[in-house]
């Protein structure tokens, strides 16, 4: 369950990056590099869970 929740967080952030890049045509950084940066600098799993549960907009299925 925790793995699914963490993946949902990463997926949500990835979608935000894709949407932002689709609206900013002159992005100076390739999309794949920005996604990689987000994944590489992600905070610990426990911190991700704590932050996610503090945000009521998250809906776990």
Q: Given the structure tokens 């794949």, which residue do they identify?
A: 32
Q: Is the pLDDT of residue 36 over 70?
A: no
Domain borders along the chain are: 30-55
CA distance 46 to 48: 5
Q: Is the pLDDT of residue 11 over 70?
A: yes
CA distance 7 to 4: 5
Mean pLDDT (whole number) for 2-26: 71
pLDDT tens for residues 17-30?
A: 766 666 555 555 66
Supply the pTM of this predicted model.
0.31
Mean pLDDT (whole number) for 23-51: 64
H/E run at residue 34: helix 31-40
Output the pLDDT for position 61.
47
Task: At 50, give phi and psi (nearest 5°).
Answer: -60, -45
């Amino acid at each position: 369950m925790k793995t699914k929740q963490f993946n949902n967080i990463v997926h949500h952030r990835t979608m935000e990056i894709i949407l932002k890049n689709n609206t900013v045509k002159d992005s100076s950084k390739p999309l794949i590099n920005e996604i990689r940066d987000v994944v590489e600098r992600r905070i610990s799993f426990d911190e991700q869970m704590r932050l996610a549960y503090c945000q009521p907009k998250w809906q776990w299925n």
